[in-house]
Structure 1
Amino acid sequence: MYKLFISLRYLRSRKISFFAIAGVAVGVMTLIVVLSVMNGFDQELRSRIRGTLAHIIILKGGMYGLEDHQHVMEKVKSFDHVVACAPYIEGPALIKLRNRREFVYFKGIDPHAESDVSDFRSYIAPFGNQPEDLLQVHGEKKTASVFGGSELFRLGPGEPEKDTGSFIQNGEQIVLVTLKEWDKISVKAFAVVGKFRSGMYDFDKNYVYIPLAVAQELTGSREKNAVSGISVKLDDYRFANEVRDQLQAALGLEYYVQTWEDARKTFLTAVMMERRVMALILFFILVVAGFNILAILTMIVLEKSKDIGILKALGTTTQGVMSIFLLHGLLIGSMGACLGVAAGLSIALRINWLENVLYNTTGWRPFPPEVYYFNQIPTVVSPTSILITAVIAVVSSVVFSIYPALRAARLDPVVTLRYE
């Protein structure tokens, strides 16, 4: 009991110990905030990419090389775990919006089939649209319909669901210019029937949905009934790799079967590596805090050498003296970890509010959506990560206390008290 009492007394009497506590707290807080944001980015990114793609994608050589897709779809539907299929055509285009001209991608879809394999329905629902709206034709010229990304149709600041005047209005015409049969240009007007919002800035800024039949006309592939690919939805994504391999074997090497993770493998791997490297780099903040503890405890040992000599003269064992300073390190680490966890959780759970305050005050946005793809900062607080971070902080504090504890334990009470 006396060991804990002396450790607490040293902690209270030496105000410099609170700087060591602050160092541990800052390290723990930073790790929790960064890991929560990186986990949120990873999870939200996967969710939103998955929403724009299907579980499995079937492609063939060439941009519009998958001919007779109905026959392929019937074959694919016969496999276990396959619940829905949807053909699509995807390609680059130049779009004219009022006086703007931008480079975009169009995706020709069967809206009902697409709703079965992706989150297309949920993307358009906030704007009061249904999938069948894409099949409407307008006027005597039978102008086809188009859904555009909310960021692509943006004219000014505001939310697309509320500030409709800041976006291209329904009924307006846009023009798409695309390649046709690789050596011709195809130009076609479309009538805007709605917007979609996936929450992924890059997709909302660069994509439009048009009817599949119209996309086939634009690309010159209608007669061949060709499409870019087939989207496949499974009843459980855990079987994706197994079904992918089965489909690849059945369809042959001329087809390319991949999961959505395969399609975005490079990007997802980069995000994973960034998260790991960031955690490793920030871990060294705790190492710096540990050296701070070592320096402070070493200084306390030098200043309290008389006290240590008296304790040893009164019969305190070497292990007892070591325990006093190890407990001191444990108290610093524990208090720093608790404060760091509290501060880290407070920031992680209110990070979007803090960013809005900073943006409204200074006009600077730390996480611009055009760079990070999201309209707000996603965070996922992992209890396991918090526990591991706190344990590492406490353990490192104790480890860095070993040297000053050994130095204190080796003091000779005779030498220490000779000149007292």
Structure 2
Amino acid sequence: MYKLMLCLRYLRTRYIALASIISVTLGVATMVVVNSVMSGFSHEMHIRLHGILSDIVMESHSLDGFYQYDQHMAAVKKVAGDDIEDMTVTVHVPAMLDIYYRNQWMPRQVTVIGIDDATYNKVSDFSKYLKHPENREQVNFKLKEAGYEGPADSKLTEAGWDYRRRQIAYQKAIEEEMQRFEIMRQSGRTLKASTHDPSQLAPMPSPLAQQEEPVKTRFADDPDAPPLPGPPPAELAQRMAANGTDAAAGPGTEGDPFRGRHQYEENTFDPAKHQSPGIILGMAVANIRQPKPEGGVRDIFLAVPGDDVRLTFPSAESPPQAVSETFTVVDFYESKMSEYDSGFAFVPLSKLQSLRYMTHPELGSAVSTIQIRLKPGADLNEVTARLRGAFPPDQFPFRIQSWKELQGPLLAAVQMEKTILNILLFLIIGVAGFGILATFYMIVVEKTKDIGILKSLGASGGGIMSIFVGYGLSLGIVGSGVGCILGLLFVWNINHIAKLIEIITGREVFDPTIYYFQEIPTIVEPSAIVMVVTGAMLIAVMASVLPAIRAARLHPVEALRYE
């Protein structure tokens, strides 16, 4: 009982013990905050990395891809069919994207991915990062009328078919105005050489007036003009009826003699009515995100759904040739991973295969990857190893990797950073441990007489030792407990604290233009907190062991001799 009483007394009356408690508190709180933020970033990164990649990827050795992928998929199902949920194929090719913005072409280097919109979403979370709600339900490459989600003050909310029609009408109006200006400029060349008097300007009849001028007036004074056509023969109606046509039929109807011409005109590409093949761009490819002076970010779109872009990429020929095609932007992909949002563009699989000449009359179409999604609970590493054993890369035109292996360097870097931060922050608690060690040595020297009296009254060496070890344990419990509470409160209010720091310092703590997160992501892992608290308590106890041993070894006579 006296041991507990002494521990509590030292804890209440020793101000130097307060310094040790504060050291442990700050160390524990810092570790809780850092672990929670790093876990949040790591979790968000895993979700976004896995959002575009399936569980297992069978990737071609060459840019040209490999054929007979349906046979390979059937073989894969035989090897790991019980663990496979779904599969799809894609084509990957590096490309140059050109965006026409403010009368100049803006080039962007991207990786074009040809996907099957019916199956690609079954092996990845691709659609959940698209901007149009209909595409999040089922991906397709058709331009929508409206409804794209984005910042209220951005062009994205106005995108769609209506935006495209307005843009085409505006361009046509500009072209007509330029033509009128050119006609007026050319008409100025008919001025008499001897004067610059505008009254001497030779009038130039408009093209419309020339078209409306009667034919007889045009050719009346021309002796070489062809004879004017006479009235239509009386038997014209009978002949047209015999041929299945009708002179009175409207354009495009069955009796129209120019029906083929009208159908051709209807099938002619009209950018106000038709779209080019669709393309889904990463958000950062056609968007410049800048911070606002008053806070927040501003999105400047170089292109939005409804605009046309130019894509140039190598064909699958040998040697490869440059292939260019116009595509219509139909949606944006925003995973909030800069590597993806600034480097990927998605197009229909069949269109990309056709443009790159990836078809063979006997072998069919070629693909770059086969992507596999496993069933929940399946062992990713075990299935990957099994497929590698069945399809060695020296015998098959592809290699097999899991999504974690494909992103291994990035994931390893994040994990290494988290580990190093934990080690460095544990040193803070280690410094607090050395403070406890020095404090306890001072207490042993100061309380030598008290220790001698306790031993002369019958206290054992173990009892004396337990006083100091219990004192160290109490410091660890109080310091780690208070630090854990403060750390959790900081984590739960970290975004409010960040805004407060921004107001005080005038500088942005968390720049969303870099991380593409509107808030700092945090995840509190109970196991990490238990590890931090337990480690802090162990350090405090270990720091008190040596002084406790010294106090336990003091002889009562020698302890009292100093007095």
Q: TM-score, normalised by structure 1?
A: 0.88
Q: Show the counterpart of 1:406.
A: 549
C-alpha distance in structure 2 between counterparts of 1:165 and 1:399, whole Å: 55
C-alpha distance in structure 2 between counterparts of 1:150 and 1:74, whole Å: 36
**2:140 aligns to what SS in structure 1?**
helix
C-alpha distance in structure 2 between counterparts of 1:92 and 1:16, whole Å: 65
The 5-angstrom pairing of residues 58-207 of structure 1 reads: 58-78=58-78, 79-97=81-99, 98=101, 99=104, 100-124=106-130, 128-130=134-136, 131-135=138-142, 139-140=269-270, 142-157=275-290, 166-167=300-301, 168-181=303-316, 183-207=320-344
Q: Show the counterpart of 1:271.
A: 414
AA partner of residue 170 (structure 1): P
Q: Deviations over 1:16-69 (max 9, x none)?
A: 111100111122122222222333333332222111101111122202322233
Residue 397 (1) aligns with residue 530 (2): no
**2:546 aligns to what SS in structure 1?**
helix
Is the contact between residue 287 and residue 299 of structure 2 (CA under 8 Å) also seen in structure 1?
Answer: no
Is the contact between residue 201 and residue 369 of structure 1 (CA under 8 Å) also seen in structure 2?
Answer: no
**1:283 aligns to what SS in structure 2?**
helix
- Greater mean alpha carbon deviation, residues 22-31 or residues 377-386: 377-386
* Residue 368 of structure 1, CA deviation: 4.8
* Residue 343 of structure 1, CA deviation: 1.6
Q: Show the counterpart of 1:232.
A: 372
The 5-angstrom pairing of residues 336-375 of structure 1 reads: 336-359=479-502, 361-362=504-505, 364-365=507-508, 368=511
In structure 2, the CA distance between the partners of 1:69 and 1:260, relative to structure 1 (3 Å rule), is same
**1:85 aligns to what SS in structure 2?**
strand
- Greater mean alpha carbon deviation, residues 343-352 or residues 290-299: 343-352
Q: Deviations over 1:294-324 (max 9, x none)?
A: 0111112222333333333433332222222
Is the contact between residue 322 and residue 405 of structure 1 (CA under 8 Å) also seen in structure 2?
Answer: yes
Q: Show the counterpart of 1:12.
A: 12
Q: Deviations over 1:382-413 (max 9, x none)?
A: 21221122122112211111122222233344
C-alpha distance in structure 2 between counterparts of 1:331 and 1:13, whole Å: 14
Is the contact between residue 466 and residue 548 of structure 2 (CA under 8 Å) also seen in structure 1?
Answer: yes
In structure 2, the CA distance between the partners of 1:16 and 1:236, relative to structure 1 (3 Å rule), is same
In structure 2, the CA distance between the partners of 1:402 and 1:171, relative to structure 1 (3 Å rule), is same
AA partner of residue 12 (structure 1): R
Residue 328 (1) aligns with residue 461 (2): no
Is the contact between residue 141 and residue 348 of structure 2 (CA under 8 Å) also seen in structure 1?
Answer: yes
Q: Which has the higher helix share?
A: 1
AA partner of residue 45 (structure 1): M
C-alpha distance in structure 2 between counterparts of 1:163 and 1:364, whole Å: 14
In structure 2, the CA distance between the partners of 1:177 and 1:279, relative to structure 1 (3 Å rule), is same
* Residue 199 of structure 1, CA deviation: 3.0
AA partner of residue 90 (structure 2): Y
Q: Which runs of 5+ in 2 are unaligned?
A: 145-160, 162-268
Q: Which runs of 5+ in 1 are unaligned?
A: none
Number of aligned residue pairs: give it.
418
AA partner of residue 67 (structure 1): Y
* Residue 325 of structure 1, CA deviation: 1.5
Is the contact between residue 200 and residue 374 of structure 1 (CA under 8 Å) also seen in structure 2?
Answer: no
Is the contact between residue 135 and residue 211 of structure 1 (CA under 8 Å) also seen in structure 2?
Answer: no
Is the contact between residue 158 and residue 166 of structure 1 (CA under 8 Å) also seen in structure 2?
Answer: no
**1:133 aligns to what SS in structure 2?**
coil
* Residue 250 of structure 1, CA deviation: 4.6
**2:310 aligns to what SS in structure 1?**
strand
Is the contact between residue 56 and residue 384 of structure 2 (CA under 8 Å) also seen in structure 1?
Answer: yes
* Residue 132 of structure 1, CA deviation: 4.4
C-alpha distance in structure 1 between counterparts of 2:297 and 2:555, whole Å: 78
In structure 2, the CA distance between the partners of 1:125 and 1:112, relative to structure 1 (3 Å rule), is farther
C-alpha distance in structure 2 between counterparts of 1:179 and 1:37, whole Å: 43
Q: Deviations over 1:143-193 (max 9, x none)?
A: 11111122323244589xx99974332211222222224542222222111
In structure 2, the CA distance between the partners of 1:158 and 1:73, relative to structure 1 (3 Å rule), is farther
AA partner of residue 277 (structure 2): A
AA partner of residue 143 (structure 1): S
- Greater mean alpha carbon deviation, residues 314-323 or residues 369-378: 369-378
Q: Deviations over 1:262-314 (max 9, x none)?
A: 22223323333333333233222222111110011111222233333333343
1:284 to 427, 445, 463: 427
C-alpha distance in structure 1 between counterparts of 2:117 and 2:142, whole Å: 8
Identity %: 34
Q: Deviations over 1:350-401 (max 9, x none)?
A: 3333334434554545555676675543322221221122122112211111
* Residue 73 of structure 1, CA deviation: 3.2
Q: Deviations over 1:225-281 (max 9, x none)?
A: 212111112223524344434444555532312221222223323333333333233
**2:129 aligns to what SS in structure 1?**
helix
Give the RMSD, CA atoms, in angstroms: 3.0
C-alpha distance in structure 1 between counterparts of 2:530 and 2:369, whole Å: 45
The 5-angstrom pairing of residues 12-31 of structure 1 reads: 12-31=12-31
In structure 2, the CA distance between the partners of 1:324 and 1:237, relative to structure 1 (3 Å rule), is closer
C-alpha distance in structure 1 between counterparts of 2:366 and 2:282, whole Å: 25
Q: TM-score, normalised by structure 2?
A: 0.67
AA partner of residue 96 (structure 1): D
